[in-house]
Every structure is written in structure tokens, then in C-alpha cells.
Structure 1
């Protein structure tokens, strides 16, 4: 996730990005997108905004290496690690963020929470996609919807593409058609004030092909399966706060 943010910010331009990691392979992977790379936490900690993009179980150890001031902002994207845990271990202003991998292409969906979201953080987020401000209590479900959500969407794209191949489409053609369909549908939702049910109805002409397919979906448990996937991811996010 950290690498996706670095790549997106690089594409946006105008940002000084210092990538810090003890793993040389991780630094090599983002070197072309970062202003510079370092293995020294103290050097990265000089930034106005310090992003901690690590596994939840090592957040505490990382924070022990960062001597941040109240004038700085700590942005954590560690799933399940609550704001109060972070605030107890740093003097910096704390922002908890859950982005997703689409930050790489500047199409990120993100949820953010904190007592104060500084303008420089908002600018960073605007440059790599869309974000919403939520309450701390909503971060676990937001993690499930937008953080884990891309994998669920990839699964659905694959399912649609496979159906196209089964019907005789070339695999690459089916992949492009399915992926572009999701992209276009998502863009339509973001640009429209109409309710989703209304958008569905707009595609479903009477006795047409779409309504036949929608009847199959509505008679299935597809909605329950998707809701179950989101719920399972939400519960796991909550569990991460107590693991280790």
C-alpha cells in the first residue's frame, strides 16, 4: 500500500517523497518513484507528513524509532490499529488512513479519520484519488469496503470475464470488456446523483437482455455473499487491534 501511494504521488508531481525501509528490495521497488530512499528512520522523520505503512504488529516498534514533534503529522495506514494507540506513542498529530492499491493510478478510494486532518494531508489524498472523512468507529468497515474491496472487485471482474470466455470470447478481449465495464459503471456512479437502483433500471429495458440477467442476480444470494465478504474483512480488521 505504501508503494502504491509513492507511485501515485510521483505521477501527480510536486511532492518530495522520501521512502524509508530496512529491506533493500523494498526500496529498490520504489526507487524510481521516490525523491530519494533511505534505511535511516531519522531522515524520513524530518518530513512534515510521516506515513507509517507497515504491518499492524510492528507499528509500535516503528513508532519507537520516530521522534516526531506536535508540528508534524503521523499518517498510519496500518489496518486495525486505532488512533488512541498511535496517539499514546507519538507527539505528532495523528491521522488514520485506509487507502487502496488504486492510489498507484491516482484512482484511490480512501477513508480517513483524526481529530484534525491538515490541509497538506488533504492535498496528498486529493492528488491520488477520492477520500471520505469518517469517525474512528467506522474505520474497520471502511477498511473492508475500500481497503479489501479491490480484491472483491477483481474477483467479480474475473467471474464476468470467465463467463465471456465460456461464451466464446477471446480471453484478453473478455478481460478488457469486463474491466472497462466496471470502470465505466463506477465512473457513472461517481458522476451521477441518481440512486443506484435508478441506474440499474436505466440499463434494464423491458423484455431486454439486462433485465433477464438481473432477475438471475436478484434470485441468487450474490448480495449475501458480497455482504459476507465485507463483514468478514471488517471483523478481521477489528481483530488486528488485539493480535500480537
Structure 2
């Protein structure tokens, strides 16, 4: 039996996250171009196929779509009103609570989620929490959408979403910072900057793919390298004895507090 099709509208579909989700959804085949709507201030498709629908008017988007994805800056949330209680509304706006989403949508058929620009490569991780008006059929739709963009889990506690906001959003930046430090180390010791950049990019890519495959946890990978007792183990012992774990927790706490203050 063929899966049910639906129309999807992305409010903020020209932004970094909204555009990444739009491209990921199209590439996955979960939605056809003529079943996708983009709403933005300019009313443009943002380089998406010509069959994609575009509008400046959120009410037009709400009237045309079965599912509405909210991907506008959190600061814009207070002025946003859809009056779409019969639509499934999914928000990826950081820090915008379920109560505020219900006010925006005009009803409890809302989902609060997190996603990331990795959706463009269908590598995002998207945890989500369902509102009181979300039926089992809706949850199936939410799962299909986010599985098309990467991996997903349903959470039962909205408060946990603030923690995942701190993990989902900053991790690419944190990884980039570690890569920056390592490339700088190589450059300071005479390695050509272009070679250092290329090496670090490839090494981080390989590490991410290796960690994503199989059943081994990050802890398993670290312990395996320590048990091997080679050059990596020598460096890992220094890192484990350093303040980095506490500093990482402090950085994540700062991200959580920022999420809750939005």
C-alpha cells in the first residue's frame, strides 16, 4: 500500500534551516515539488525548483498545506498568528514553548522540535515533543518527515527539549572549533595552511562517519583506542585528565540557558 501523501509548508523557507529542510525533504522524495510551499518575506523559492509554491502570506500557506513547519527566528514568534487549529503545526524555533505554539496555531495540534542545517544532507537529528491535540496519525507523519531528514526520537518531557537544543545546535560549532584548534596546531608547526585545512576536514569527516556506524558508543571508541595504547591513547589520557569535560558541561549549560531565555 502506498504511503499517504501530504502538502508541506515551510514558514521561513528561505532561511538557513528552513531552506536546508526544504531541500532535504525534496531530495528524500517524501514530498513532490508541487506539494511544497515556501513562505518568506520576499515570497521567493530561494533557488528551489520552479514547481515549488511560494507566497509572502502565512494565511495562504496555512490554507494550502496539511503540515506547517515553523522555521522563523524565535524573536518573530510573538507576532506570529496562523489560526490553523485543524493543521499539524511543527515548530523548529528554539526556545518557543508549547503554550506559545498553541497560541500561534490557534489549537493544540502542535509539535515542538529541534533540527539543524544538516537536514540538507539528510544527516540531521530531530527530537520532538507532541502537544495534547496530536493524534497517533500525526505522530506517524512527524516521524516520516524527520526520518527523511536524518534521525529522530519522540520525547515525553518538553523540558528535555531545551537540553537537546543545547546539543543539536552547538555540536557542529563545537566540532568546528576543535577542528580549528587542530588545524592551528599543525600550521604553527610549519604545515601548509591549505594542507592542514584539508587534512582536518577529512579527518573529522571520517571520525563522524565511523562513529555513526555500528553499535559502538563514543565511549566504546575512546576505550578501544586507550586499550590499544598507541599514540592516540597518549593524547586521550591528557584530555581525560584535563578540564575539558567540565568546560564542555559549562558550554552546554550556557547553550541551555540561552535556549530558555529566547
Shared fold, TM over 0.5: yes
Q: Which has the bigger relative contact order, CA under 8 A and spacing at least 6?
A: 1
2:77 to 34, 56, 59: 59
Alignment match of 1:141 (pick from 135, 159, 163):
163
5+ residue gaps, structure 2: 1-16
Distance 1:32 1:159 in 2: 39
- Whole-angstrom CA distance in 1 between matches of 2:26 and 2:198: 26
> Which TM-score applies when normalising by structure 1?
0.86
What does 1:97-112 correspond to in 2, within 5 Å?
A: 97-112=113-128
Q: CA separation of 1:43/1:67 partners in 2, compared to 1, >3 Å: closer, same or farther?
A: same
Q: Partner residue of 2:97? A: 82
Q: Report the alpha carbon displacement of residue 75 of structure 1 after superposing the two structures with TM.
A: 0.6
Structure-2 change in CA distance of 1:58 and 1:34 (3 Å): farther
Cα RMSD between the aligned structures?
Answer: 2.2
| Mapped partners of 1:212, 1:40: distance in 2 | 58
How big is each residue's C-alpha offset from its partner over 1:171-191, in whole Å with a ceiling of 9 and x where there is no partner? 333333323333333333333
Give the alignment of 1:172-187 within 5 angstroms: 172-187=194-209
The 2-side partners of 1:181 and 1:19 are apart by 36
Distance 2:166 2:119 in 1: 16
Tell me the equivalent position of 1:48. Answer: 66
Tell me the equivalent position of 2:148: 127
Note the residue ranges of structure 1 that are not aligned, 5 or more in a row: none
> Is the Cα–Cα contact under 8 Å of residues 71 and 92 in structure 2 kept in the other structure?
yes
> Is the 1:3–1:30 Cα contact (8 Å) retained in structure 2?
no
Q: How many residues align?
A: 235
- SS of residue matched to 1:226: helix
> CA–CA distance in 2 between the matches of 1:133 and 1:53?
19
| Residue 9 of structure 1 pairs with residue 25 of structure 2 | yes
